[in-house]
Structures are given as structure tokens and as C-alpha cells.
Amino acid sequence: MQDYSPKNFSAELTHLDSQGQAQMVDVSGKASTVRQAVAVARVRMLPETLNAIQAGNTPKGDVLATARIAGIMAAKQTANLIPLCHPLPLQKVAVEITPDSQLPGYHIQATVKTNAETGVEMEALTAVSVAALTLYDMAKALEKSIQIESIHLISKTGGKSGDYSASEL
């Protein structure tokens, strides 16, 4: 186990300066490369709620379109929401929301792509999180017990740390 105490800072802790204070990582010396990240979330609900959303029978309108747009907008605002995140020029943000009657509920997947000096994992995670929260908000009049679950990164490509792929939870 590594010692991350203030007296033992290492180069691995790039978000901390020599005094242990939070800092934005300096990426000015890094090369711009194509980077992509994919994150997922699940939104679990009663079968009746899923059926109402699928039928377009909800009091607030088009739940899925609103959640999809919210996810895209959130990815673009990540640097304003998460301290120390770099603002990035995003070339692609795609949010897919797929019904699953076995869950029952929805699987949300966000794919974010850029050509920059740092990765887009936080943008993908923010996109699925806000899409899931928006889905909840749009459907809470039908069901307050909707559950948002298993938000996680499933893959990332590009950058110094290389590619990453997780098995689905």
C-alpha cells in the first residue's frame, strides 16, 4: 500500500502540490491525442413506470429525449461541475438509453471523444449521471422509488496511461 501522507508526496499524485494543496494538473507539455471514454449507468424502476415511459404516457413529456439531451449538455459542462477538471473541446458526445424489461428500467451509456492533452473519463461519467438524474426527475411523478445504480467507466482509450476496459458489473 502506498503512503499518501503529506510528508511522502509522489509524482503519482498530480493533483497535489508539494505542500499537499489541491492543484489543477499542468497538461501543457502533453501531446494532444485522440481520447475516448465510455461510461454506463442503470436506472431501475417498476414495470409500470417503464411501460408508461415507453408508451410516452408521462406527465412531464418525452422522458428519454430530455434525459439524452441533459447527458450531452452535462458532458460539456464537466469542468464547471468537477473541481480541477480541464475544460475540453469535445468532438463527440453520444448518450444511448436502452429499455430493459428484465431490470426493469433503462441502461444508459455515454461515449465521449476528444483530441486533447487529457482524457474524457469524467465527461462520460458526468453524462450518464446527469442523464440518469434527469430520467428520475422526469418520471418521479410516476414513481419516487426509482433507483440509479452502477455508474462506472467501462472503457477508455488514448493517453499516457494507455487503454482501459472493465468487465460489466
123 in a labelled binding site: yes
CA distance 25 to 2: 21
Q: What is the pLDDT of residue 10?
A: 45
CATH architecture of 27-165: 2-Layer Sandwich (3.30)
Question: What is the reported pLDDT for 96?
Answer: 98
pLDDT value at residue 168: 54
Task: Tell me: is residue 122 an annotated ligand-binding position.
Answer: yes
C-alpha separations of 48 from 64, 108, 148 in Å: 16, 19, 17
Whether 137 sits among the annotated catalytic residues: the reply is yes
- Of 17, 100, 137, 163, catalytic: 137
Is residue 165 over pLDDT 80?
A: yes
Total count of residues recorded for the chain: 169
Q: In angstroms, rounded to a whole number, what is the distance separating the alpha carbons of residues 146 and 21? A: 39
Is-contact 100 107, C-beta < 8 A? yes
Nearest to 131 by CA among 148, 155, 114: 148
Q: Is 85 marked as binding a ligand?
A: yes
pLDDT tens-digit series, residues 2-47: 555 555 544 565 666 677 777 777 676 677 889 999 999 999 999 9
pLDDT digits (tens, 9 = 90+) for 83-110: 888 999 999 999 999 999 999 999 999 9
Residue owning grid cell 461515449:
111
The three cell numbers locating residue 76:
460539456
Q: Could you tell me which of 116, 111, 114, 118 has the C-alpha nearest to residue 160?
A: 118
Query: Where exactly are the structural domains of the chain?
Result: 27-165
pTM: 0.86
CB atoms within 10 A of CB 102: 6
